[in-house]
Structure 1
């Protein structure tokens, strides 16, 4: 996957912020359509480059992440200490129309793979190095300060 300038949340003036209400609406559609699903908590911390919803589906709890600046959705195990372990939830993609649902295999791809395709800004590469980000997912769904 090619990382575009601004996807980290820095140098992103040219990107349009995604709407929290739309994200919440998609999550509510999921929980009303899937038996035994509950929305436990929503998070919209402006210091993160993503919005999130904690979901319980059957006995499993996980987080749905929506990138704040791009129409990308990802799924992760319950977030602890801002460490994200990405999941693949192909069955749930249908609840996020007009969004690209990213799979764990893509998000866990090394930044070094196809590095020449990424068009991150110089400042973004500086943060990648500073925070020792190693994967596509760590850049896209970061918590850099």
Structure 2
């Protein structure tokens, strides 16, 4: 199936997609900051450059886009054009995510993932609830990981 926009338009659209400071990431950052949590952003010295690093809590949080990280939710759908490219790209992103999480946990870091679908879409959770879940997890040292997604 051909693309519905021209290659130039598609290129412009794809160039506008950010990897840092996305809307979901900013929502989580602002909410946790208002609750008094302090963090470092995109630490290049850690595997996967986590979106937020909380040294005091020995924890990191990734805010993943459902499409780019292949989440099994209503926001993710395999593209119908250029399928081989997208399957390779998204599958590799999933593999890298697993590798980064495993490496961080081996290093002693607690890992959290907040999926985009928890903040948008028809199965989203209340934003304050997502932020509160993150805050509770950060303060609870007996949980090594957390994954927050939309309600199915």
TM over 0.5: no
Greater relative contact order (Cα < 8 A, sep 6+): 1
Which of 1 and 2 has greater Rg?
2
Q: TM-score, normalising length from structure 1?
A: 0.31
Greater share of residues in strand: 1
Q: TM-score, normalising length from structure 2?
A: 0.30
